[in-house]
Chains A and B, each alone.
Chain A
Amino acid sequence: MTELPPAIQLRSVSRHYVMGESVIRAVHDVSLSVSSGEFLALLGSSGSGKSTLLNLIAGLDRPSSGAVIAHGQDLSQMSALELARYRRQTVGMVFQSFNLLPRMTLEENVELPLRLAEVDRSERAARVRDALERVRLEKRIGHRPSELSGGEQQRTAVARALVNRPRILLADEPTGNLDSATGESILTLLREIQKNPGMTIVMVTHERTLAERFADRLAVMGDGKLISNGAQR
């Protein structure tokens, strides 16, 4: 089997917070590599540092030390403007609480990343429709998030994450607010998306059973450290 080039490389990454006189080591000396097209599940108990690590990969936070490299770009060396561009073009994010804007319709929510990326207006409608078709919500295009079920809202969030055609999809507890059947359908959807050539998925979860069923590899964190790098399944 041919070794795929790494999409994400973490080299001795630490993220420490200073709280008064104490230092909280949210992430400490983590080195990890995720190949292109791989579906990695990041497991760990609450407060283990997995979400902090995901934020570092997303470019929402900067490491205290070490390097986060995504598709050859060292995020720790980027300016705030370059990080914003990276978030627009390279990564898509899905959150536990969906984070859809309640006053916008599905169409408008999914269109938002296209507005930020200054995609031409004439192109937007087709791309929004494609993304919603992919998550099978094209018939709910004019609805507001409050008119949808939890699973539908999360599928909308997935469509929003995909609309800018990112190379990396980052999901932070995407099934955390859903019942088990709906959660399973979301992971099935993520798995389908992963089949697109080059789509790398890093998912933070504490549901080991689901992770084992859908992810290519499991990495386990505890107390800010990487306990298990996991073998490719």
Chain B
Amino acid sequence: MAQIRIENLRKDFGAFNAVKSSTFTVEDGEFFMLLGPSGCGKTTTLRMMAGLELPSAGEIYIDGVEVGMKPASQRDIAFVFQMFALYPHMNVRRNISYPLISQGMPRAQVKAKVAEIAEILNITDILDRPVGGLSGGDRQRVALGRAIVRDPKAFLMDEPLGALDAEFREHMSHELRALHDRMKATTVYVTHDQLEAMQMGDKIVVMNHGVVEQFGVPQDIYDWPATRFVAEFIGSPPMNFLDFRGVVGIGATHVTLGGTTLDVPELRQGAAGDLTFGVRPEHVTLDDAAPYRGRVTATEYLGTTQIVLLDTAHGVVKARVAASDPVRVGQTTGLAFDPRTITVFEGTTGRALPSRANRSVLHHG
């Protein structure tokens, strides 16, 4: 297994710039997520790692060796597409042994290796079955087996669960992650689903328009987004943004929105003009005594919690509160924001202003 380092990677398709200048490192044994909306450059990045596209500029190091211009076959990487691609005329055993036989591995060795993989994937009992009659889960396990059996340096996966229905997807994502925990194989996984990224990843790269917006561990990215894009893309519902105009100096510990003073973590950089006060829904509480006011326009019941939508002078705010809290549509209430969790964004660039709270996270990114 291997470390993969990406440096200043760029890809142009004619006049279209798909990836601008990406730099990040996938450590040995990590489950690493490339996350972003469609067209952000995540799949192009993955394909360059695999050798299916050649970079326009920049380097890709696998275990310290630069492979950017090498063909896919010399990189020793397993690429897992939508997982159901199996040879329909072969049984499970032959599907899994195929990569080994084509490498010229002796029969006895192939047999032992397939047995070992079947054990890991819990498919020993179906080895001699045709793939045609298998359930979706078993087909997916077989496809995985065929990727794993070669002992590649890394697995690259492009939305492998994308086509599955919600229930089965949840099941397979647990299984994939558990398999990773047993094998500790370096894995790079492309998805547009932020929940899947948070749930499965050790680290996440968030991309938008060919640019790496942020890179780090899921909870840090969630708590301390580097940009407004990240704050909106991650989290469901996303972070609330209250736009205002103002001036904040270095060392400021509050901002003023429409006459209300709201505390924020001590800022390490000043800004003036269009600014945004960012707060996650679970850090908004309904508190009649709070001076910042809003009117409840709707509620969404979610079982344990509910989402309360409020109209305020600065737009709609969503609050996540306990489902047992009595909230009435039409009622006017105060909104309190947990001051330790606030991010202030610069309006024009959308970048988070560094503060005492997010400083260490933004430095990594």
Whether both chains belong to one complex is answered with: no
A interface residues with partner B (beta carbon < 8 Å): none
B interface residues with partner A (beta carbon < 8 Å): none
